[in-house]
Copies of this chain bind each other. A is one copy, B any other.
Amino acid sequence: MTEPLPSWHDTPTKQAILDFVTSVTDENSSNYVTPAERIATFDNDGTLWCEKPTYFQFLFAIERLKEMAAVEPSLLEQPEYRAAVQGDLSFFADLYPDDVGALMQIVFSTHAGMTQAEFEGLALAFMNETQHLRFGLPLKQLVYKPMVELLHYLDHNGFKVFIASAGGMSFVRTVAEEIYGVPRERVIGSNITFEIRMSDDDLVLYRKPGLIEPIDDGPGKPVNIELHIGRKPILAAGNADGDIEMLRYSETSEHRSLQLVLHHDDAGREYAYEGPSAKKVFSLARERGWTVIGMKNDWQEIF
Chain A residues at the B interface, C-beta cutoff of 8 Å = 36, 116, 160, 169-170, 173, 177, 183-187, 191, 193-196, 198, 202-205, 212-213, 219, 222-223, 226-231, 245, 248-249, 251-252
Given contacts A203-B248, A248-B198, contact A183 B36 (CB under 8 A): yes
Whole-angstrom distance between the alpha carbons of A177 and B173 in the complex?
26
Given A194-B223, A203-B222, 12 other A-B residues pairs in contact with their CB atoms under 8 A: A160-B185, A170-B230, A184-B229, A184-B230, A184-B231, A185-B229, A195-B219, A195-B223, A196-B219, A196-B249, A203-B249, A228-B228
User: With a CB–CB cut-off of 8 A, which chain B residues contact A228?
Assistant: 185, 228
User: With a CB–CB cut-off of 8 A, which chain B residues contact A227?
Assistant: 169, 191, 194, 212
User: With a CB–CB cut-off of 8 A, which chain B residues contact A226?
Assistant: 116, 194, 205
User: With a CB–CB cut-off of 8 A, which chain B residues contact A203?
Assistant: 222, 245, 248-249, 251-252
Q: Which single residue of chain B is at the shortest CB-CB distance from A176?
A: B230
Whole-angstrom distance between the alpha carbons of A186 and B186 in the complex?
10
Q: Is there contact, CB below 8 Å, between B195 and A231?
A: no
Q: Is there contact, CB below 8 Å, between B223 and A205?
A: yes
User: With a CB–CB cut-off of 8 A, which chain B residues contact A183?
Assistant: 36
CB distance from A299 to the nearest CB of B (A): 30
Whole-angstrom distance between the alpha carbons of A36 and B182 in the complex?
11
User: With a CB–CB cut-off of 8 A, which chain B residues contact A195?
Assistant: 219, 223
Whole-angstrom distance between the alpha carbons of A184 and B231 in the complex?
8
Q: Which single residue of chain B is at the shortest CB-CB distance from A187?
A: B230
What are 29 A-B contacts with C-beta separation under 8 Å? A160-B185, A169-B227, A170-B230, A173-B230, A184-B229, A184-B230, A185-B186, A185-B229, A185-B230, A185-B231, A187-B230, A191-B227, A193-B213, A193-B223, A194-B223, A194-B226, A194-B227, A195-B219, A196-B222, A196-B223, A198-B219, A202-B252, A203-B245, A203-B251, A203-B252, A204-B252, A205-B222, A205-B226, A212-B227
Q: Which single residue of chain B is at the shortest CB-CB distance from A288?
A: B200
CB distance from A270 to the nearest CB of B (A): 29
User: With a CB–CB cut-off of 8 A, which chain B residues contact A173?
Assistant: 230
User: With a CB–CB cut-off of 8 A, which chain B residues contact A251?
Assistant: 203
Whole-angstrom distance between the alpha carbons of A183 and B222 in the complex?
19
Whole-angstrom distance between the alpha carbons of A227 and B245 in the complex?
22
Q: Which single residue of chain B is at the shortest CB-CB distance from A247?
A: B203
Interface pairs A-B: 6 shortest CB-CB: A184-B230, A185-B229, A194-B223, A203-B248, A173-B230, A196-B219
